[in-house]
Structure 1
């Protein structure tokens, strides 16, 4: 078969090349402390969309820096006792989707919390307040400010905070809170499970936001990663700060969060993926020490993966390892 990246056996050994900041652990310890100090002020508002099967709510909470974050919350109607919950995340620039998307899990006895990433296509706020470029691109948002102001830092914390809210709901079994999503959603599911280690299962699909320098070196700073090229063209055309830029991006490189994950993991990868190259995904996967498995689609890229949703449902329904 043709290759757009390394052979699979090399992918399984690849450890990533983007630099890890020396103070990475302190950075995220400080971030988690900031998140923990926030008064979430959770609000549940019944939606006009309701079904005989499930109750539907707009859920709002306050995240770091005062942003009001929105998620759709669907829970089985008339459920007996505590039940599992799925925390769901969407692709880059999109939103939490239709209510009906969540009903399959509700029909199986799961509550579903589906987050709108701040400042993207849904209702969650981007509180702003950074210096430098804000015209386009969340990866580079805050790159020229203090590292604590990187926008994806805040979005990762929102993901973890939402899982914490799910864990606290009286109807949810805290031993069975799971995270899932594809592309940016797969990245946020990794961040969620890494920063909220009580998440017990993780289904991540071709995750974004891993090993930025590898994407750059493959000349794939286009499509979802176009803003990396835009940044250099606008703010560092001679690449005098290239090493500094990639090191700072290391704070929001999920390969360095992966070792924190305690959840059982399934990761789906298309080996023809030119949006989120397979090697960047494996840079994160290979650092996971929890029980894990990959679902490899050799002939597929960043697209619908046949049968995957069924496999993820079976994974979430199966007994934990």
Structure 2
């Protein structure tokens, strides 16, 4: 089998190389405190898109630092007793997508909430205002400011806040909520379940935002990870701050958050992925302590993988 990364036997033991900041746990404890003290001010606005068996809403809430965050929210019409919900997260720079592709879960009797990541291709705000580079990409946004101002910190917190909002809705059974997504969506799925451990089932596919230094050493800081290369070229061309940069990125490295996941995990990886290298994904997967299964696709990269959505749909039927 062709290889772009380690052999599979090594991947299954790989533990990551990006440094973890000494105060990582304290950092995220304080971050969650900030989220929990933020008044959400939830607003549900009926959407122009409606179908006979579902109610569709634009959901807005206030996230950390005052940004108004948007999600699509769909629920089965006339189904008021508590039922399951699925949270959906999208790929980097994209948005929550069309309404119609969420209706398969609604038809099964589930509600669906699909987040727009702040400042990306949807309607969620990025109020910004950080010191340093904002020329490209969200990975490095806030890197030259205080660690608590890093943008992906805020986006990770948005996922958990959305989960809490959905779990508090009277029509939702808070013990039967799942999460799913591909690439950045896979990363946000892991973040959500780590910061809100009541997530019962999660299905991340080729997750982004793991083991940044491994990406750099594989010379794959391009495409989705191009932010890292741009930062060094523009702001540290001699790499005098390289150790500092990767340690600070450790605050938003999901391999160190996943230990808090309690839900059952179904994760998908393509061994030919040269966007989010398999080893970076295994650095996170190998640290998950809850019940888990990895779907391994030897011939696929960062692309549509046949049958995987069918497997995720059936997995979520167990909520």
Same fold (TM over 0.5): yes
Could you say which residue in structure 1 is the equivalent of 2:106? 106
CA-to-partner distance for each residue in 1:182-227, whole Å, 9 max, x for gaps?
A: 0000000000000001111110000000000000000000000011
- Once the two structures are TM-superposed, the CA of residue 81 in structure 1 deviates from its matched residue by 1.4
Residues 108-147 of structure 1 mapped to structure 2, 5 A cutoff: 108-147=108-147
- Once the two structures are TM-superposed, the CA of residue 80 in structure 1 deviates from its matched residue by 5.0
Matched length: 319
- Once the two structures are TM-superposed, the CA of residue 129 in structure 1 deviates from its matched residue by 1.3
Partner SS, residue 114 of structure 1: strand
Residues 281-292 of structure 1 mapped to structure 2, 5 A cutoff: 281-292=281-292
Could you say which residue in structure 2 is the equivalent of 1:41? 41
User: How many angstroms apart in 2 are the aligned matches of 1:23 and 1:212?
Assistant: 18
Partner SS, residue 91 of structure 2: coil
User: How many angstroms apart in 2 are the aligned matches of 1:229 and 1:305?
Assistant: 28
Partner SS, residue 290 of structure 2: coil
Find out whether 1:53 has 2:77 as its counterpart. Answer: no
- Once the two structures are TM-superposed, the CA of residue 70 in structure 1 deviates from its matched residue by 0.1
CA-to-partner distance for each residue in 1:16-70, whole Å, 9 max, x for gaps?
A: 0000000000000000000000000000000010000110000000000000000
Q: Where does the alignment leave 5 or more consecutive residues of structure 2 unmatched?
A: none
Residues 297-308 of structure 1 mapped to structure 2, 5 A cutoff: 297-308=297-308
CA-to-partner distance for each residue in 1:245-291, whole Å, 9 max, x for gaps?
A: 00000000000001000010000000000000000000000000000
Could you say which residue in structure 1 is the equivalent of 2:190? 190
CA-to-partner distance for each residue in 1:77-96, whole Å, 9 max, x for gaps?
A: 12251110001100000000
Could you say which residue in structure 1 is the equivalent of 2:169? 169
Could you say which residue in structure 2 is the equivalent of 1:23? 23
- Once the two structures are TM-superposed, the CA of residue 143 in structure 1 deviates from its matched residue by 0.2
Could you say which residue in structure 2 is the equivalent of 1:225? 225
Partner SS, residue 303 of structure 1: coil
C-alpha RMSD over aligned residues: 0.6
Could you say which residue in structure 2 is the equivalent of 1:155? 155
Could you say which residue in structure 1 is the equivalent of 2:278? 278
Residues 201-216 of structure 1 mapped to structure 2, 5 A cutoff: 201-216=201-216
TM-score (structure 2 length as normaliser): 0.99
Could you say which residue in structure 2 is the equivalent of 1:265? 265
User: How many angstroms apart in 1 are the aligned matches of 2:94 and 2:291?
Assistant: 30
Find out whether 1:85 has 2:85 as its counterpart. Answer: yes
Find out whether 1:313 has 2:313 as its counterpart. Answer: yes
User: How many angstroms apart in 2 are the aligned matches of 1:179 and 1:268?
Assistant: 14
User: How many angstroms apart in 2 are the aligned matches of 1:258 and 1:106?
Assistant: 28
Partner SS, residue 165 of structure 1: helix
- Once the two structures are TM-superposed, the CA of residue 318 in structure 1 deviates from its matched residue by 2.3
User: How many angstroms apart in 2 are the aligned matches of 1:144 and 1:180?
Assistant: 31
Partner SS, residue 118 of structure 1: coil
Q: Where does the alignment leave 5 or more consecutive residues of structure 1 unmatched?
A: none
Could you say which residue in structure 2 is the equivalent of 1:234? 234
User: How many angstroms apart in 2 are the aligned matches of 1:175 and 1:65?
Assistant: 29
More displaced, 310-319 or 166-175? Answer: 310-319
- Once the two structures are TM-superposed, the CA of residue 298 in structure 1 deviates from its matched residue by 0.5
User: How many angstroms apart in 2 are the aligned matches of 1:80 and 1:70?
Assistant: 23
